């Protein structure tokens, strides 16, 4: 949610504005409803607009904005609706300080009341606007800019990533608390952003800010200090992402590109981990993790569906496991001790609810492990252990390749922690990329989407390992087509959902020849007898075909992995339905890629 960019360096005027606008465009996937930027010189120049980034680009004056340092922002509305006034950056009374902010300032109202009582005038409804006014007050009392910024941050409660510029200062000041900020070290300047893709075109050298750290970014370098003001020596890391990975590469949408990247993503996820001769999985970075007495997997949205899949794998390996919605985990007070491993499954490594669950579990004595895609993310840094899924940048809001990579990573994790041995399992893991490619090459999903694009609703069902994939299929359809869809274990059909079945409600049934196939066929007959079209997604078309109206075939594999291949078919169906409906596929309404508020 929301995106921050910043730059300080040798670029001037048009170049600085271009850097900011380009960075904002690369953060559009995070979700936003307004955008703005500010450039610092002898004064502060601010331009901001509600709506798409194109509205901001059109509003930037033709004679450019002068300055060597600037900040930009894409806003996801929390306090106040999307308007020009509520868009970031926000300024102080004199317009000499500009601030952008991600997160929520929980004590903004008493701070605002305090400032208004002193005569400060506010132009927006946002919590963010207290920040420039607090900086202004500290400057008026004689503080230098850095001290004023520090004093202001000390007053804030909640989660935040804040960046500020001040007139007559070619510097960007930044701080974070439970909201991501990463610095980029370039040849002609320094960059700041919520996520690496914002500046990946300019540099792959990064520094990850920690909670409580402050950064001063100027053309001469970056200074990072802790809460006491002491300079912190931080490592510069190289991001293993090609700038081309963050582009569309000729595809109409990022989502379609990322669906087709899944074979490569899985190869990277597997690299160096399965041991074919021994029939084992070895994850070097987790060699010191003992076999847990129990596992709790916490996650949200798509990652929760991967967690459901992973929990079943752990249980079959003899390790008691539960998947829990991260937003409910602390509320439900799951008991933990030092024999509990709490696994946070989070694509971004910044999901607020998941981070809260991990912190709660760690505080109560559990060991924590992050399964994430982002090196240096909060989850990766704060957990006791981390397993990277290596999917590369995922720009589309609707997760595709990261979901598949999470499933594969959890399959390997369960096998490694249980010290399981199975050549058949490991060989099937190693063959997954080729199996995925064959699904992409031969899919009839577009034909199915064309036939059922005008359906009243869509149902997705499966049993066992296929049940989480059915849930995910429904979520993808909802996210990008805006059509009603529901996914659930097939046995639940007769406990209510059958009341919704008509000849305009197609049912997608994931059927695995080696897992509950007969029971699934019984469920298929239940809905077919009531007139619903049935689309079987299966590795057994010859046995299932005459019970279904259509078949989406998946190739033979280990029965635990059949749902992974079926998921790709369901991703394609959702994509082509949304495409036919003309939806904003990569940026669906009301949704954000990285949800950093609870």
pLDDT tens-place string over residues 154-163: 999 988 899 9
What are residue 45's DSSP bridge partners? 39
How many residues does the structure list for the chain? Answer: 598
Query: If we measure between CA atoms, which residue out of 197, 157, 193 comes closest to residue 178?
Result: 157
Residue 451 belongs to what H/E stretch? helix 445-452
DSSP for residue 177: E
Q: Which residues are catalytic?
A: 2, 593
Judge whether 550 and 573 are in contact, CB under 8 Å. no
Judge whether 345 and 307 are in contact, CB under 8 Å. yes
Phi, psi angle pair for 464, to nearest 5° = 60, -130
Rounded CA-CA distance 400/42 in Å is: 46
What are the Cα distances from residue 102, in Å, to 175, 359, 455, 498?
11, 20, 39, 44
Instruction: Give the other-Cβ count within 10 Å of 242's Cβ.
Output: 12
What mean pLDDT value characterizes the chain?
Answer: 91
Rounded CA-CA distance 473/183 in Å is: 36
Q: What is the pLDDT of residues 482-516, one digit of tens each?
A: 999 999 998 888 788 888 889 999 999 999 888 77
Query: If we measure between CA atoms, which residue out of 75, 162, 71, 83 comes closest to residue 124?
Result: 83
**Residues near 212 by beta carbon (within 8 Å), at least 6 away in sequence:** 177, 226, 227
Is the pLDDT score of 331 beyond 80? no
The C-alpha R_g of the chain, in whole angstroms, comes to 25
Ordered structural domains, the chain, with CATH: 3-239 (3.60.20.10), 246-438 (3.40.50.10490), 443-598 (3.40.50.10490)
Judge whether 30 and 2 are in contact, CB under 8 Å. yes
Query: If we measure between CA atoms, which residue out of 532, 410, 404 comes closest to residue 461?
Result: 532
Q: What is the pLDDT of residues 260-300, one digit of tens each?
A: 999 999 999 999 999 999 999 999 999 999 999 999 999 99
Q: How far apart are the first and last CA of the chain?
A: 11
The two structure tokens encoding residue 329: 């985990």
Judge whether 208 and 192 are in contact, CB under 8 Å. no
Rounded CA-CA distance 390/371 in Å is: 10
* Backbone CA torsion sign across 350, 351, 355, 358: negative
**What is the predicted pLDDT for the residue at 459?**
96
What are the Cα distances from residue 114, in Å, to 107, 133, 274, 359, 386?
11, 11, 60, 33, 43
Rounded CA-CA distance 251/253 in Å is: 5
**Predicted TM-score (pTM) above 0.85:** no
What are the Cα distances from residue 470, in Å, to 17, 282, 286, 388, 422?
45, 30, 31, 25, 27
Q: What is the pLDDT of residues 44-100, one digit of tens each?
A: 999 999 988 889 998 988 666 778 899 999 987 777 788 899 999 999 999 999 999
Q: What is the pLDDT of residues 240-263, one digit of tens each?
A: 766 556 667 789 999 999 999 999
- For 130-278, where are the E strands, in sequence order? 158-166, 171-177, 182-185, 189-193, 205-208, 214-218, 221-225, 237-238, 274-275
């Amino acid at each position: 949610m929301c995106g921050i960019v910043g730059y300080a360096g040798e670029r001037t005027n048009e170049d600085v504005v271009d850097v900011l606008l380009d960075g904002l465009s690369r953060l559009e996937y995070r979700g936003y409803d307004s955008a703005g930027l500010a450039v610092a010189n002898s004064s502060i120049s601010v331009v901001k607009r509600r709506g798409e980034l194109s509205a901001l680009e059109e509003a930037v004056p033709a004679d450019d904005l002068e300055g060597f340092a600037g900040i930009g922002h894409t806003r996801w509305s929390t306090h106040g609706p999307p308007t020009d006034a509520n868009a970031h950056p926000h300024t102080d009374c004199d317009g000499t300080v500009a601030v952008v902010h991600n997160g929520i300032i929980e004590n903004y109202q008493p701070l605002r009341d305090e400032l208004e009582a002193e005569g400060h005038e506010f132009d927006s409804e946002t919590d963010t606007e207290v920040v420039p006014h607090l900086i202004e007050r500290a400057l008026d009392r004689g503080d230098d800019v850095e001290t004023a910024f520090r004093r202001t941050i000390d007053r804030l409660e909640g989660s935040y990533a804040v960046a500020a510029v001040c007139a007559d200062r070619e510097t960007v000041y930044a701080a974070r608390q439970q909201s991501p900020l990463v610095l980029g070290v370039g040849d002609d300047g320094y960059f700041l952003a919520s996520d690496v893709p914002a500046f990946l075109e300019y540099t792959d050298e990064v520094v990850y800010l920690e909670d409580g750290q402050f950064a001063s970014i100027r053309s001469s370098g970056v200074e990072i200090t802790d809460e006491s003001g002491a300079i912190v020596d931080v490592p510069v890391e190289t991001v293993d992402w090609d700038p081309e990975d963050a582009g569309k590469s000729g595809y109409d949408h990022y989502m379609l590109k990322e669906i087709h990247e899944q074979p490569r993503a899985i190869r990277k996820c597997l690299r160096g981990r399965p041991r074919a001769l021994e029939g084992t999985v070895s994850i070097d970075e987790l060699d010191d993790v003992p076999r847990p007495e129990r596992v709790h997997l916490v996650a949200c949205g798509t990652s929760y569906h991967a967690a459901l899949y992973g929990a079943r794998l752990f249980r079959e390996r003899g390790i008691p496991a539960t998947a829990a919605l991260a937003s409910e985990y602390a509320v439900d007070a799951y008991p933990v001790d030092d024999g509990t491993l709490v696994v946070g499954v989070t694509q971004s490594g910044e999901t607020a609810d998941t981070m809260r669950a991990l912190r709660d579990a760690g505080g109560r004595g559990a060991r924590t492990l992050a399964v994430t895609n982002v090196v240096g993310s909060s989850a990766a840094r704060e957990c006791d252990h981390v397993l990277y899924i290596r999917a590369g940048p995922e720009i589309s809001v609707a997760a595709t390749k990261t979901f598949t990579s999470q499933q594969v990573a959890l399959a390997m994790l369960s096998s490694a922690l249980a010290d399981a041995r199975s050549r058949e399992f490991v060989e099937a893991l190693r063959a997954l990329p080729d199996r995925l490619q064959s699904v992409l090459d031969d899919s009839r999903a577009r034909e199915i989407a064309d036939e059922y694009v005008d359906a009243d609703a869509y149902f997705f069902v499966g049993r066992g390992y296929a049940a989480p994939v059915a849930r995910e299929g429904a979520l993808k359809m909802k996210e990008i087509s805006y059509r009603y869809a529901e996914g659930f274990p097939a046995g639940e059909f007769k406990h209510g959902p059958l009341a919704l079945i008509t000849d305009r409600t197609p049912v997608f049934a994931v059927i695995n020849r080696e897992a509950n196939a007969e029971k699934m066929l019984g469920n298929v007959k239940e809905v077919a007898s009531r007139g619903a079209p049935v689309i079987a997604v299966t590795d057994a078309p010859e046995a299932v075909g005459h019970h279904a109206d259509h078949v989406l075939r998946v190739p033979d594999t280990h029965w635990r992995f059949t749902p992974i291949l079926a998921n790709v078919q369901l991703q394609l169906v959702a994509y082509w339905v949304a495409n036919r409906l003309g939806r904003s596929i990569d940026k669906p309404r009301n949704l954000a890629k990285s949800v950093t508020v609870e």
